[in-house]
Amino acid sequence: MSILELTESSSHDSEPSHAQATVDIVAVHGLHEQARETWTDPASGTLWLRDLFPHRAQNARILAYDYPVQSLISSGEGSASQLLPLATSLVAELAAYRWHDNGMERPLIFIGHGFGGLLIKKALVHASAHRSKEMESSIYTSTFAILFMGTPHRGMEKSFLFAPNNLISTVNRRFLNSLLRDSPFLTEVTDQFAPVMKRFTIFNFWEEIMTTVGNIRTFVVHEDSAAPAWDIDERCGIQATHSGMVKFKSKHDSGYRVVHAALIRYQRDALSLIQSRWRDELSQRSAEREQQATELRMQNQRQSSPAQKLAMGCGATERREYVVPHASTNFFIGRHVHAKEAREALGPVEEGPAWRKPKVLVVCGLGGAGKTQFVLRYAEEARSVYWGVFWIDASSIEALDSGLASLAMMYGKGSTPPSAVHWLSTCLKPWLLVFDNADELDMDISRYFPPGGNGHIMVTTRNPGANVYATVGCMRLSGMDPEEAITLLLRAAYPEPEPQTLDPTRRGLAQAIAQRLGYLAIALAQAGATIRNKIYTLEVYLHHYLGHRKLITSRHNTSGTVHADTITTWEIPFQKIAARQSTEYQDAVELVHIFAFLHFESIPEKIFRRSWHDLPSVSSTKMSYPRLLQMDGPWDEEAQARFRRAIRILYDHSIIDHDPDSETCSLHPVVHQWAQERMAETDQMKWLTCTSAILSHCVSPHLEASGQQFRRSLLPHIDACLRELRFHCQTLPDTLSRAAEVERFASVYAENGRWKHARALQQSVLDLRRKRLGRWHEETLRIQQSLAHTDWNLFEVESAISIQRAVLITRWWLRPSLKHWLLWPPWKPTHIEYCLALDDLTLTLWLAGLRELSKRTGERAVRGLIKILGPDDPRTLNAMFNLARTYLHMGQHQISHKLLVRVLVKRKKLFGMNHPDTLMTRNELGMNICAQKMRLAVAERLVANVVESRKQILGEEHAYTLWSINDLAKVLCERQKATQAVDNLEAIIPVVVRTLGEKHVGMTMTKSNLARAYVLCERWAEAETLLTGLVDVIPPRHPDSIHNRSGLVHVKIRMGKLAEAERDCLALVDDVECKKIIDPDSPRAGIIYEQLLEIYQLQDRGAELEAVRKKVPSIQPPAAKKRFDMLPVHRLLRRESELELFE
């Protein structure tokens, strides 16, 4: 990768020197040609940027960025992580090139051809994100304009990408898929560029002549992809092919005059604007430095005491929080008596900071009685008196867990349901928590109630037995008051402002309908919508209603008269919609069939947009999918308009709710149930299969960071879809295509920390693929790797090692080509997949405490990946980090430090300071410095900064945040700040219990570090209690057991329990000498002998003392110490045989 100057000055020309140039024009090539070749006409040899454009007269310097296309496409990656190294290199090299000739403030104009335009976009996003770094941010500040020449903003044509004779068609299919229209990769690049694009002047060009590839003629990048409908760009087509559109042989060629004029205009306008930007930039930096200095001076003044923080509970901000998914209906009528009862039952809202048990009010009634609408209206009217109102979908255990976890993450309190419950229980500002649709009979919702705080809880349910949860009463909503019911029906039917509700004739007709519908609010609203849409008039509605009801009761399994009365109100308009043959009405019918198998709340429109192009490619037939998704072409304004028309039909008929701002749809639970029950069993299976395919194809296999929030929103829909699949299928998965869908669902579970759910799905997929495809198939290996990763996060290390070892052996045999068998030595392969499998195993062996094996596998992985991918590839950096961590815990501090610094520099450049990988590296570097017992203040600052960053990004109760707090405690102990370490660790013990559990390795780590801090504080009794408990937890043949028991001996010596200390110490000597659990020559073994000498010396037992000295002459009894060093507990192996896996 390098910067090429296409207008280099020489002694015999009159070109501008670097210092004289007023603008830099930077050309970036695409995938099919190299830097000079891209811009050169092959017949005449004319390089138009040099030979035609008047750069001398314009004082312009022409540069080209050359990057290795083959290394990009050969890896088969399509994610932004593969584009990012190229983008960061472009920024770094261009900034350095300009710095050397004092041209950092010179205006920049970019020209990008094809893929090169995507690279420019990513580079500018990277530069804008590093505003604190003057070199990198200078590119962002100085860029005035971009000419995108056939850039696939929305993707390249599939017919070109997969043409047999295409030059790049032989690369990994995954990379080609990433360039298809609206792929997650391209969506991520576009989403990241959108916030900064208005800063630049943009000109989009597209090709107007098709390219011939073999026997195929096609556009490479269609007009709507090369020139999207942006409101800030200029647009123009060029009468040339994709390759020819950037090769001009004369000034009369099509498109040249437009390009020439644009460059001249942009150069003329850029100088003053960029100078103004730089003045603003320098002024802003000066102000930021002054602000930082002021904040540092005021930092101690701003810190509040723990008591003050406890009093605030939820934080110091006075902002009111209202987290409710939707608003109440405009047709809400009455319920004044019930509202008064609710206010009286819950009582006044207490503003003062006082901890009390929450009051619980249960609102129960039939489905459709208006429970949710009643509580919504209550919450809207009371939101001004509560500090926070929070709404949780309680329709299932999965929905409850997901809702509470999202609430915890929203406020930075972790990512688990207990985190949200604990946060509210300590919140002393008034809050209202609503559990909606808690209908499942076997679900104990009370375990999700905060035990304290300053709040009220409302529960809506169809289950009358839920009154056991109430502490202030249970309100039962049934039919509405007859007069209010008549008014609701007429308002829904005639929303115009005329006094229709007062017409006696109409009220009489409405009274008969309302009585027939049992005065149920939802049925009345739906009947009103049917009349409003002129399906039936008020006069004839009841007659037709009775006919439909009779048909429904004869054809469907309805649960009672009331249920039949209710669902008939939806069946009437739905039958009318289904009878219409126009496209939008048929689309509406099919959408209802899909919605029936998703969760009824907050269905994102993105589900359909994300699966737009993928679905037809997964099957040879399109008949199983909605016709809406069988459209050819992109998801453009026409496609979106068609989708919205179908949505509007359903909304107008009150079958769904639609929020255009959040782009989500919702159904009432009763409507959702009706939508399923009205289908025959065969149709249910057909549409369930279709829904599962649509949902799974929303999940990118690369799990790009930009889509994480969207994937999290899919969790309730994945839960609902899997629940239906388990009900309808004897085994899940039952086919290979279904296995692919379940695999993607599992990846979303794993990404969001639902490891046990993910593991169960991954194991089922693995079982099927082993049976159908065999253990050597690539898809089988892929799911094995995912399963091992999940086991790692569950700390099921024995299982993870077993799986990863099997994958490694298979990768040893499965080599990409014969060439890899001929490389010497053949028994040490170095292809990418094998090296990545080695790296996976390195990490797990480190966690298991098998450090020598971890070192050997890690060194081989790093050597291989550097050779194939280079030292800067993110996968190579990951392997380097894992090896560095192993070196650290083997005591090889210098080489570990060198690797960690190298990885940190690269990761900061690639990902930024607060990326999870960068934070992990910063944390480990801090612990490396601490282990060397030098520059401890630097170590404390590094780890403390990571703790704060993880609190803000991951939440206070995330496992990685707790890990960093443990590491910070170790550093504090080294700095003789044991009291502070004790305070920190004691504070997180309840959090670890709540989020990880008593038996989790995180709890063992925390207790181990706390025991060490207690020793330094001479709190011997507490230290003894903790260490004695750990003896029973750590397997006796694990090395960490020796360290823990040695620490316990130290404590007992200090407490004067010499007999117990001697017994335990002799047992340790036996484990070292006979069982060889640790090396008899290791420092830890020497400490054990020192402890034995100290015990004998304190008892004046000269004979025993002399015997030990003769046995180990190098050991001397130590002076009395207040501390002991206990190495971190990394993993508690389930069985002793685990240590023999690789012997």
Same domain, yes or no: 23 and 142: yes
User: What single-letter DSSP state applies at residue 156?
Assistant: B
Are 764 and 733 within 8 A, CB to CB? yes
For residue 681, what are the CA distances in angstroms to 674, 685, 727? 14, 6, 12
Could you tell me if residue 1088 is inside a domain?
no
Specify the pLDDT at position 805: 95
Among the three residues 668, 694, 728, which one is the final residue of a domain in this structure? 728
Total domains present in the chain: 4
User: What single-letter DSSP state applies at residue 462?
Assistant: S
Are 1015 and 1123 within 8 A, CB to CB? yes
Same domain, yes or no: 352 and 257: no
C-alpha 1123/C-alpha 1014 separation (Å) is: 9
Same domain, yes or no: 458 and 344: yes
Specify the pLDDT at position 490: 82
23-39 residues labelled b (16+ CB within 10 A) or e (exposed)? bbbbbbbbbbbebbebb
CATH number reported for the structural domain that contains residue 416 in this entry:
3.40.50.300
C-alpha 61/C-alpha 36 separation (Å) is: 15
Residue type, 543: H
Could you tell me if residue 403 is inside a domain?
yes
CA angle 82, 86, 88 (to 5 degrees): 110
Burial label for 582, CB within 10 Å (0-12, 13-18, 19+), is exposed
Provide the phi-psi class of 412: left if phi over 0, else alpha when psi is between -120 and 50, else beta.
Answer: left
What are the residue ranges of helices labelled H in 313-362? 336-346
C-alpha 1134/C-alpha 791 separation (Å) is: 13
Are 922 and 945 within 8 A, CB to CB? yes
Terminal-residue alpha carbon distance, the chain: 45
Cα 1126 from chain centroid (whole Å): 36
Specify the pLDDT at position 429: 87
Specify the pLDDT at position 294: 53
What average pLDDT values come out for the chain (1143 residues) when binned by 10 residues? 73 50 92 89 92 89 88 54 80 88 90 95 86 78 94 86 62 72 80 84 93 86 87 85 93 91 91 85 66 51 40 50 80 77 85 74 83 89 89 89 87 82 88 91 87 90 86 83 79 68 74 76 78 78 67 52 62 85 90 93 87 55 63 68 88 85 86 86 91 90 78 92 91 92 94 89 96 93 95 89 95 88 85 94 88 94 92 92 92 93 89 85 94 90 93 82 93 93 92 80 88 92 90 76 88 92 91 80 82 89 86 68 45 33 28
666-688 residues labelled b (16+ CB within 10 A) or e (exposed)? bbbbbbbbbbbbbbeeeebeebb
* Encoded tokens for 819: 């060439």
Are 126 and 159 within 8 A, CB to CB? no
> What is the pTM (predicted TM-score) of this model?
0.70
* Encoded tokens for 245: 């559109």
Could you tell me if residue 736 is inside a domain?
no
* Encoded tokens for 628: 């809406």
Residue type, 722: L
959, 965, 971, 972 alpha-carbon torsion, rounded to 10° = -160
Provide the phi-psi class of 24: left if phi over 0, else alpha when psi is between -120 and 50, else beta.
Answer: beta
Among the three residues 700, 728, 756, which one is the final residue of a domain in this structure? 728
Could you tell me if residue 1092 is inside a domain?
no
Same domain, yes or no: 573 and 585: no
C-alpha 493/C-alpha 654 separation (Å) is: 11
CA angle 704, 710, 715 (to 5 degrees): 110
Among the three residues 549, 577, 605, which one is the final residue of a domain in this structure? 577
Specify the pLDDT at position 633: 60
Are 18 and 101 within 8 A, CB to CB? yes
List 207's β-bridge partners, or say none. 238
Could you tell me if residue 689 is inside a domain?
yes
Going by their DSSP bridges, the two strands 603-604 and 664-666 should be labelled as: antiparallel
321, 325, 330, 331 alpha-carbon torsion, rounded to 10° = -120
Neighbours of 90 (CB within 10 A): 26
Q: 909 phi and psi, to 5 degrees? A: -70, -40
Could you tell me if residue 824 is inside a domain?
no
Same domain, yes or no: 131 and 90: yes
Are 439 and 366 within 8 A, CB to CB? no
Same domain, yes or no: 40 and 148: yes
Neighbours of 810 (CB within 10 A): 19
Specify the pLDDT at position 11: 41
Provide the residue range defining the domain that includes 156. Answer: 2-282
Same domain, yes or no: 445 and 567: no
498, 503, 509, 510 alpha-carbon torsion, rounded to 10° = 50
C-alpha 784/C-alpha 806 separation (Å) is: 9
Same domain, yes or no: 155 and 278: yes
C-alpha 239/C-alpha 154 separation (Å) is: 21
List 360's β-bridge partners, or say none. 457
Same domain, yes or no: 30 and 92: yes
Tracing tokens 């947009």 back to the chain, one arrives at 609
Are 517 and 572 within 8 A, CB to CB? no
Specify the pLDDT at position 142: 93
Q: Which of 883, 872, 955, 953 is nearest to 921 (CA)?
A: 883
Could you tell me which residues come within 8 angstroms of residue 11 by beta carbon, excluding any fewer than 6 positions away?
Answer: none
List 435's β-bridge partners, or say none. 392, 459
CATH number reported for the structural domain that contains residue 156 in this entry:
3.40.50.1820
Could you tell me if residue 37 is inside a domain?
yes
Specify the pLDDT at position 230: 76
C-alpha 1129/C-alpha 387 separation (Å) is: 43
For residue 677, what are the CA distances in angstroms to 565, 606, 933? 14, 26, 69
C-alpha 526/C-alpha 573 separation (Å) is: 9
C-alpha 288/C-alpha 642 separation (Å) is: 49
* Encoded tokens for 659: 């929020």
Q: Which of 127, 158, 161, 133 is nearest to 31 (CA)?
A: 161
* Encoded tokens for 707: 């889509």
Task: Compute the residue count for the chain.
Answer: 1143
Could you tell me if residue 834 is inside a domain?
no
Are 858 and 883 within 8 A, CB to CB? yes
Could you tell me which residues come within 8 angstroms of residue 695 by beta carbon, excluding any fewer than 6 positions away?
Answer: 598, 607, 611, 714, 717, 718, 721, 741, 745
Could you tell me which residues come within 8 angstroms of residue 304 by beta carbon, excluding any fewer than 6 positions away?
Answer: 316
99, 103, 108, 111 alpha-carbon torsion, rounded to 10° = -60
CA angle 576, 578, 584 (to 5 degrees): 105
Same domain, yes or no: 176 and 71: yes
Q: 8 phi and psi, to 5 degrees? A: -60, 135
User: What single-letter DSSP state applies at residue 145?
Assistant: E
Cα 799 from chain centroid (whole Å): 26
Same domain, yes or no: 563 and 455: no
Same domain, yes or no: 552 and 563: yes
* Encoded tokens for 174: 């995954």
